[in-house]
Chains A and B, each alone.
Chain A
């Protein structure tokens, strides 16, 4: 009895348990509403179905949220990612649209390199403002969030740039092993970031800078460089997300591409269990967070919830997710449920959590 209790507690105590449970409940609710929700079939040699849509559409958000996770774990925030998506997509599409042969792989690679180059420079700009000049991250990145949208429109001349390039389209819609390529790109980025942060000391360094930048510097870590690096990585992730978004519809819309994705990304990071105060980050949690957000959006369409009520519906779900996920709330809730909390249980708790 005691053994099952403790096993149950270890499982629910795992930081990924609650986000994963929420995702599971959402998928289950959708399946009850429409039994075909999870069905996948093979069409034209590709897997086709709502779960595949969710994975493909959440790929850009996963990328942006990965970068955001690193920035937030340094105690910062990057509001400019949405504008960066628009800029990178606009540059790539604009360059391709001006070329005689849009289907040439060389042209697409050049376009991607150019757009990535500009995005890295803009990321460095954010990094310099925060790490060198010492402006509050929310203000420093707000500059590029506002100005960047204008820049994207300047590049596209206020028009929607439509392109007809198969290699570029593949970034958003191509397939590999019957699955959308976008999923693999997001997965590769996640593994890359995970390898660099969790297989080397970088992750710990980032967390220590986020915990206390001054103390880390005094301990011999170049805090400024670490913070700078986080913003550059975030910009690079946003740039790739921008490629996916524009490739998905084969057109660059300076106005709409990546609009409000920064807020979704921050939400994904928070749902994933990363503290907004910095000092701790969970990449796997972030990915589940991004999947939850995309599933929520897809749920609204799949259940055909009217647009007037869908915002409220989303808000309620998000609040519920955040509360369920908060240990303080759960603790209070479970204490209320049990009229007389056995003191032993409370004494047990820290003991069990230490080894975990």
Chain B
């Protein structure tokens, strides 16, 4: 043991030396980039993007969309996966600042704690675009714009479709709601938007609302109890496709036909959900699109050209009925 310990000292020195060399190398790269930055007047835009991670199919589609859109738009993309850690994201953003990229874009892992690094970017004169999720900085000048879905609107679209469908209904329409994870922004906002929209018709009533944690197993387990506790359920509103998919099995087991006996409305429009919609098991989906790459690249060009952009831009999203789903399904990427 003693021998090993004495041996470890030179090893440690070598490791320190190696890491110093590495850091030096990175710095040197940064410097050479800076040198190159001066000759970057060929109009080619460099974008540094820091992604949250790869936690879901939605996120994977988001990443692919951004990479493809960058290639299509002729923008050089420096991509970093933060693996759900804010410190990784801050590190990546600092790297981009050092490399003097033209635009920095990122989907913040968490809402708070960004002021310092965003100020650094601002001081370096690099515009920042937020995608998908926002930050809670009081100083709105720290970023140019926030590009992402409007969850309240998604809930409202779902509700408005239902109001339209049930406008001739004479008796009460019983709705059950499968909420997302308690406290999550999409769950709160979708619930709010839906409630606002169905307030237009007093016949529409949410008789039960429980969290299914955005998962299929959760949606199924909750729906089983809803079906047993409430003899008459007319409509199911699920905050995402997965919970709706789980509920399908519960509805079938109860001897009812999903899509006919119970109208099903969900949000997201992932592939499995679209398939269910095309098969007539779902009736309506409000899209929450991860494909914001093209919009992001457009914004990057505008920002680089010094044009003014709105502080809040919504992702281009649509809604699907069964017929539309059948059409859209073959080209669905996620």
Determine if A220 is an interface residue (Cβ-Cβ < 8 Å).
Answer: no
User: Which residues of A are found within 8 Å of B117, using beta-carbon distances?
Assistant: none
A100 to chain B, nearest CB (A): 19
A90 to chain B, nearest CB (A): 14
Determine if B169 is an interface residue (Cβ-Cβ < 8 Å).
Answer: no
The contact of B225 among A250, A302, A307, by CB within 8 Å, is: A302
Determine if B54 is an interface residue (Cβ-Cβ < 8 Å).
Answer: yes
Determine if A48 is an interface residue (Cβ-Cβ < 8 Å).
Answer: yes
User: Which residues of A are found within 8 Å of B217, using beta-carbon distances?
Assistant: 245, 248-249, 253, 256-257
Complex alpha-carbon distance, A298 and B226, angstroms: 10
**A304-B208, A304-B210 known; A253 and B215 CB under 8 Å?**
yes
Bits for A298-313, please: 1 = Cβ < 8 Å to B, else 0. 1011101011101100
Stretch at the interface among B56-64, B282-290, B322-330: B56-64
User: Which residues of B are found within 8 Å of A297, using beta-carbon distances?
Assistant: 221
Bits for A239-264, please: 1 = Cβ < 8 Å to B, else 0. 00000010011110101110000000
Contact A307 B249 (CB under 8 A): no
Bits for A156-174, please: 1 = Cβ < 8 Å to B, else 0. 0111101000000000010
User: Which residues of B are found within 8 Å of A301, using beta-carbon distances?
Assistant: 210, 221-222, 224-226, 229
Number of interface residues of B (CB under 8 A): 34
Contact B210 A249 (CB under 8 A): no
Determine if A50 is an interface residue (Cβ-Cβ < 8 Å).
Answer: yes
A21 to chain B, nearest CB (A): 24
Contact B56 A308 (CB under 8 A): no
Determine if B131 is an interface residue (Cβ-Cβ < 8 Å).
Answer: no
Which of A160, A245, A255 lies at the interface centre, i.e. has the most chain B CB atoms within 10 A of its CB?
A160
Complex alpha-carbon distance, A114 and B183, angstroms: 39
Determine if B34 is an interface residue (Cβ-Cβ < 8 Å).
Answer: no
Contact A251 B216 (CB under 8 A): yes
**A159-B60, A160-B216, A256-B215 known; A307 and B210 CB under 8 Å?**
yes
Complex alpha-carbon distance, A308 and B182, angstroms: 7
Contact A158 B179 (CB under 8 A): no
Contact A50 B220 (CB under 8 A): no
Determine if B211 is an interface residue (Cβ-Cβ < 8 Å).
Answer: yes
User: Which residues of A are found within 8 Å of B255, using beta-carbon distances?
Assistant: 43-44
**A249-B216, A249-B220, A256-B213 known; A162 and B272 CB under 8 Å?**
yes
Determine if A236 is an interface residue (Cβ-Cβ < 8 Å).
Answer: no
Determine if B41 is an interface residue (Cβ-Cβ < 8 Å).
Answer: no
Complex alpha-carbon distance, A101 and B154, angstroms: 38
B9 to chain A, nearest CB (A): 27
**A43-B255, A253-B216 known; A160 and B242 CB under 8 Å?**
yes
Determine if B55 is an interface residue (Cβ-Cβ < 8 Å).
Answer: yes
User: Which residues of B are found within 8 Å of A306, using beta-carbon distances?
Assistant: 209
* B206-255 interface (Cβ within 8 A of A): 208-211, 213-218, 220-222, 224-226, 228-229, 242, 245-246, 249, 253-255
Can you give 12 contacting A-B residue pairs, CB < 8 Å? A43-B253, A43-B254, A53-B224, A158-B60, A159-B57, A245-B217, A248-B220, A253-B216, A300-B210, A301-B221, A304-B209, A308-B182
